[in-house]
Amino acid sequence: MRIAMIGTGYVGLVSGACFSDFGHDVTCVDKDAAKIEALRQGIMPIFEPGLDELVERNVAGGRLSFATDLAPAVAAADAVFIAVGTPSRRGDGHADLSYVFGAAEEIARALRKPAVVVTKSTVPVGTGDEVERIIREAAPAAKARVVSNPEFLREGAAIEDFKRPDRIVVGTEDHLAAEAMREIYRPLYLNKAPLVVTSRRTAELIKYAANAFLATKITFINEIADLCEMVGADVQDVSRGIGLDNRIGSKFLHAGPGYGGSCFPKDTLALLKTAEDYQSPLRIVESVVKVNDLRKRAMGRKVIRALGGDARGKTVALLGLTFKPNTDDMREAPSIAIVQALEDAGAKIRAYDPEGIEQARPMMPEIEFSTSPYEAAKGADAVVLVTEWDVLRALDLKRLAAAMAEPVFVDLRNIYPTEEVENAGFRSHGIGRATEMET
Ordered structural domains, the chain, with CATH: 2-198 (3.40.50.720), 217-438 (3.40.50.720)
Q: Are 97 and 86 in contact (CB under 8 A)?
A: yes
Nearest to 292 by CA among 344, 334, 328, 343: 334
Instruction: Give one word for 113, left, alpha or beta, with left for phi > 0 and alpha for psi -120 to 50.
Output: beta
Q: For this structure, is 228 an active site residue? A: no
- Listing DSSP states for 268-303 in one string gives HHHHHHHHHHTT---HHHHHHHHHHHHHHHHHHHHH
What's the pLDDT score for residue 209? 97
Burial of 183 (0-12, 13-18, 19+ CB in 10 A): middle
Please report, as a single letter, which amino acid is at residue 17.
Answer: A
* Predicted pLDDT of residue 142: 82
Closest alpha carbon to 316 in 339, 294, 337: 339
Residue pair 88/96 in contact (Cβ under 8 Å)? The answer is: yes
Round to whole Å and give the CA distance between 66 and 30.
8
Whole-number CA gyration radius for the chain: 24
CA of 378: how far to CAs of 23, 308, 353, 406, in Å? 51, 20, 16, 10
* Catalytic residue of the set 18, 28, 228, 263: 263
Task: Find, among 151, 105, 107, the residue nearest to 13 by Cα.
Answer: 151
- Among residues 356, 398, 401, 394, the alpha carbon closest in space to that of 378 is found at 401
Collapsing DSSP to helix, strand or coil, 25 comes out as strand
Give the single-character DSSP code of 2. Answer: E
Residues with Cβ within 8 Å of 436's Cβ and at least 6 positions away in sequence, in order, are 228, 229, 429, 430
pTM: 0.93
- What is the C-alpha to C-alpha distance for residues 182 and 229, in angstroms, rounded to an integer? 50
Please give the chain's pLDDT, 439 residues, in tens.
999 999 999 999 999 999 999 999 999 999 999 999 999 999 999 999 999 999 999 999 999 999 999 999 999 999 999 999 999 887 677 889 999 999 999 999 999 999 999 999 999 999 999 999 999 999 888 889 999 999 999 999 999 999 999 999 999 999 999 999 999 999 998 778 899 999 999 999 999 999 999 999 999 999 999 999 999 999 999 999 999 999 999 999 999 999 999 899 999 999 999 999 999 999 999 999 999 999 999 999 999 999 999 999 999 999 999 999 999 999 999 999 999 999 999 999 999 999 999 999 999 999 999 999 999 999 999 999 999 999 999 999 999 999 999 999 999 999 999 999 999 999 999 999 876 554 4
Burial of 325 from C-beta contacts in 10 A (0-12 / 13-18 / 19+): buried
- Contact of 364 with 340, CB cutoff 8 Å: no
What is the pLDDT at residue 438?
Answer: 45
